[in-house]
């Protein structure tokens, strides 16, 4: 049964409110096994490096672009350096308020970014995304 | 460059007599450098980067004046180049002028009036060029800032708005009073963030466009006003604050700029505290007399990592994701200090705290 497959989620956003919104929307889909939020991309990266648990489905990562210290693109670059047995377990989505052409076209230059999502995240666009997974 | 200073010119000729008489004729009107060989001339240009005009004889022993000018053009693009020559070389001169290497030529034997008018014209050309150059540089930096600005505005204004939109969606679906309360308080934070950004833009604009108004400063009053706002906003809660002001004599300065500086530094000091710390403190020390004011703002907060410390005054740079910030505050501080000809130093240690030291010269009375 397709409906029963539940996902693990990781949200990376320096805005507490945006993490909160994402968590709520994710939990409301009913397809959420777990959701972890990080205000700093570096911490998320450490978490991903250490997380060796076997999961039947890829984890879904929603990462914001503009963040201090390590931004979304820097995070993706670091992520892509990790060994394939780790990166294979994740599916990256960029989520941003940006309407900047440079940001939008940059998204396509990273092989590991599946899709770009506009903020705010809603149950509608999240459901569409999950239907494709 | 001071226009009342004598114009610096370099005259190159292999005949010592010409050099001597040139210097004798023009040393009262201009700052005259002379060189008997092109090598000496190059050395002089290196030592005198403020040379505005170069006059060179076309027939030098090792090369022609035109060749010399072509050679030095890349290293010394600014000085205006003039050739001194007899009629016989006229073809090569026309060629050189047409190729843009030479501003004008002076016929040999020259008269004082010829040389003088050539130098005056050349100087006007030099001044117009350097004015154009500095305006272009200003314009370029204004464009760069505008670019950053437009980029950041989409994030810093749009971000909090979209957060509010998202929060509203969740609130609609929520049935728990507890959760609604939580959502409302987060929405409040988002609105505050937006407001802070708009206030920072206002500060930025007042600094860029505003004229400085110098008046006697009462530091006690400025600190009092600034801190009163923080107290109302609750950002000083559980933080020990101490202000020590020693003011002797009249210190003349622009009050708005001073308020922007203190407001941003103190707001950062209160904001970037270690949440778990037991004894949080912020201290401001001000000593001033009629000549200058020295201000220390010290906290025992999270500190700034050495990797970030060189960038903290850059527009929109943020060294931490703790707390909300626009990346505008310290840029505005630096900008205000530039206008006041003041200086800022920062010493910081991660998890121990940060001290900013500011020195501002007072405007002389009258």
CB A11 within 8 A of CB A23: yes
CB B295 within 8 A of CB B285: yes
What is residue A90's three-state secondary structure? Answer: strand
Residue predicted with more confidence, B2 or B13? B13
Give chain B positions within 8 Å (CB) of A16.
186, 189
Per residue in A87-133, pLDDT (tens digit) is: 888 999 999 988 878 888 899 899 999 999 988 898 888 888 888 87
Q: Give the CATH fold of the B212-366 domain.
A: Heat Shock Protein 90 (3.30.565)
Residue B361 has pLDDT above 60, yes or no: yes
Give the pLDDT of residue B1.
44
Give mean pLDDT, residues B255-278. 90
Band (pLDDT 50/70/90 cuts) for residue B328 is: confident
Give the pLDDT of residue B115.
93
Give mean pLDDT, residues B306-332. 80
Q: Give the CATH fold of the B138-210 domain.
A: Helix Hairpins (1.10.287)
How far A81 CA lies from chain B's nearest CA (Å)? 22
Band (pLDDT 50/70/90 cuts) for residue B4 is: low
CB contact under 8 A, B151 and A100: yes
Give the chain A residue whose CA is nearest to the CA of B179: A24
Give mean pLDDT, residues B237-247. 91
**Looking at domain A2-132, does it have CATH number 3.40.50.2300?**
yes
The 3-state secondary structure of chain B reads CCCCCCCEEEEECCCHHHHHHHHHHHCCCCEEEEECCHHHHHHHHHHCCCCCEEEEECECCCCEHHHHHHHHCCCCCCCEEEEEECHHHHHHHHHHHHCCCCCEEEECCCCHHHHHHHHHHHHHHHHHHHHHHHHHHHHHHHHHHHHHHHHHHHHHHHHHHHHHHHHHHHHHHCCCHHHHHHHHHHHHHHHHHHHHHHHHHHHHHHHHHCCCCEEECCHHHHHHHHHHHHHHHCCCCCEEEEEEEEECCCCEEEHHHHHHHHHHHHHHHHHCCCCCCCCEEEEEEEEECCCEEEEEEEECCCCCCHHHHCCCCCCCCCCCCCCCCCCCHHHHHHHHHHHHCCEEEEEEECCCEEEEEEEEECCCCC
Cα–Cα distances in Å, from A43 out to A52, A75, A92?
16, 10, 16
Per residue in B97-117, pLDDT (tens digit) is: 777 678 988 888 888 999 999
Work out the percent of chain B whose per-residue pLDDT is above 70: 96
Q: Which of B186, B189, B321 sits opposite A39 (nearest CB)?
A: B321
Q: Which of B154, B165, B190 sits opposite A99 (nearest CB)?
A: B154
Q: Write down the CATH superfamily of domain B8-110.
A: Response regulator (3.40.50.2300)
Work out the percent of chain A whose per-residue pLDDT is above 70: 96
Residue B130 has pLDDT above 60, yes or no: yes
Give chain B positions within 8 Å (CB) of A98.
154-155
CB contact under 8 A, B319 and A119: no
CB A34 within 8 A of CB A107: no
Q: Which of B163, B304, B317 is the best substitution to test chain A (most A C-beta atoms within 10 A)?
A: B163
Q: Which of B158, B173, B325 sits opposite A97 (nearest CB)?
A: B158
Give the pLDDT of residue B365.
61
Q: What is the mean pLDDT of chain B?
A: 88
Residue A4 has pLDDT above 70, yes or no: no
Band (pLDDT 50/70/90 cuts) for residue B3 is: very low
Residues of A with CB under 8 A from a CB of B: 14-18, 20-21, 24-25, 28, 39-40, 66-69, 97-100, 119-122
Give chain B positions within 8 Å (CB) of A117.
none
Q: Which of B151, B163, B170 sits opposite A15 (nearest CB)?
A: B163
Instruction: Establish if B271 touches chain A: CB-CB under 8 angstroms.
Output: no
What are the residue ranges spanned by the domains of chain B?
Answer: 8-110, 138-210, 212-366
**What's the DSSP call for residue A14?**
S
Tokens of B340: 């006041």
Residue A44 has pLDDT above 50, yes or no: yes
Residue written as tokens 């190159």? B12
Give mean pLDDT, residues B177-184. 91
CA-to-CA distance for B360 and B288, rounded, in angstroms?
A: 9
Q: Which of B154, B183, B187 sits opposite A100 (nearest CB)?
A: B154
Give mean pLDDT, residues B66-92. 86
CB contact under 8 A, B320 and A28: no
What is residue A53's three-state secondary structure? Answer: coil
Give chain A positions within 8 Å (CB) of B327.
68
Residues 6 or more apart whose CB falls under 8 angstroms from that of A81 comprise: none
For the CA atoms of B51, B55, B60, B66, what is the dihedral angle to 10 degrees? 100
CB contact under 8 A, A28 and B173: yes
User: How many interchain CB pairs under 8 A, A with B?
Assistant: 69
When mean pLDDT is compared across A15-19, B79-83, B141-145, B362-366, the lowest value belongs to: B362-366
Residue A52 has pLDDT above 80, yes or no: no
CB B200 within 8 A of CB B328: yes
Give the pLDDT of residue A47.
92
Kind plus residue range of the DSSP H or E element containing A34: strand A32-38
Give the chain B residue whose CA is nearest to the CA of A43: B321
Give the pLDDT of residue B277.
86
Q: What is the mean pLDDT of chain A?
A: 87
Residue predicted with more confidence, A33 or B2? A33
Per residue in A57-68, pLDDT (tens digit) is: 778 999 999 888
Give the pLDDT of residue B209.
75
């Amino acid at each position: 049964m397709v409906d029963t497959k539940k996902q693990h989620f990781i949200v990376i956003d320096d805005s507490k409110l945006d993490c909160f919104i994402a968590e709520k929307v994710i939990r409301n889909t009913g397809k959420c096994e777990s959701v972890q939020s990080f205000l700093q991309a570096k911490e998320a990266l450490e978490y991903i490096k250490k997380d060796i648990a076997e999961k039947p489905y890829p984890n879904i990562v929603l990462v914001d672009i503009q963040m201090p210290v390590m931004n979304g693109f820097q995070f993706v670059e670091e992520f892509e350096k990790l060994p394939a047995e780790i990166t294979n377990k994740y599916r990256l989505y960029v989520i941003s308020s940006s309407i900047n052409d440079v940001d939008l076209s940059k998204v396509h230059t990273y092989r590991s970014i599946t899709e770009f999502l506009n903020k705010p995240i809603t149950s509608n666009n999240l459901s569409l995304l999950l239907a494709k997974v | 460059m001071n226009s009342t200073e004598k114009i610096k010119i370099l005259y190159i000729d292999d005949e010592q007599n010409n050099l001597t008489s040139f210097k004798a004729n023009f040393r009262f009107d201009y700052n005259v450098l002379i060189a008997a060989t092109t090598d000496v001339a190059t050395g002089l240009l290196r030592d005198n980067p403020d040379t505005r005009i170069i006059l060179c004889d076309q027939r030098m022993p090792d090369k022609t004046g035109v060749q010399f000018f072509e050679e030095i053009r890349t290293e010394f693009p600014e000085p205006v180049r003039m050739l001194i020559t007899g009629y016989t070389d006229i073809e090569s001169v026309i060629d050189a002028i047409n190729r843009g290497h030479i501003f004008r030529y002076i016929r040999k034997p020259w008269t004082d009036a010829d040389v003088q008018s050539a130098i005056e014209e050349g100087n006007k050309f030099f001044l117009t060029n350097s004015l154009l150059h500095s305006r272009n540089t200003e314009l370029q930096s204004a464009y760069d800032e505008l670019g950053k600005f437009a980029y950041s505005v989409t994030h810093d204004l749009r971000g909090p708005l979209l957060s509010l939109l998202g929060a509203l969606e969740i609130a609609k679906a929520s049935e728990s009073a507890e959760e609604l309360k939580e959502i409302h308080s987060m929405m409040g934070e988002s609105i505050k963030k937006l407001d802070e950004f708009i206030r920072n833009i206002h500060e930025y604009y007042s600094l860029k466009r505003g004229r400085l108004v110098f008046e006697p400063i009462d530091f006690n009053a400025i600190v009092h006003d600034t801190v009163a706002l923080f107290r109302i906003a609750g950002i000083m809660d559980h933080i020990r604050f101490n202000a020590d002001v020693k003011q002797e004599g009249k210190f003349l300065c622009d009050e708005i700029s001073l308020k922007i500086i203190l407001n941003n530094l103190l707001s950062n000091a209160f904001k970037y505290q270690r949440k778990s710390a037991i004894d949080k403190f912020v201290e401001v020390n001000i000593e001033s007399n009629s000549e200058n004011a020295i201000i220390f703002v010290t906290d025992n907060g999270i500190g700034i990592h050495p990797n970030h410390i060189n960038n903290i005054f850059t527009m929109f740079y943020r060294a931490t994701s703790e707390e909300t910030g626009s990346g505008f505050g310290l840029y505005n501080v630096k900008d205000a200090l530039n206008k006041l000809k003041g200086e800022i130093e920062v010493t910081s240690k991660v998890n121990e705290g940060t001290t900013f030291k500011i020195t501002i010269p007072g405007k002389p009375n009258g």
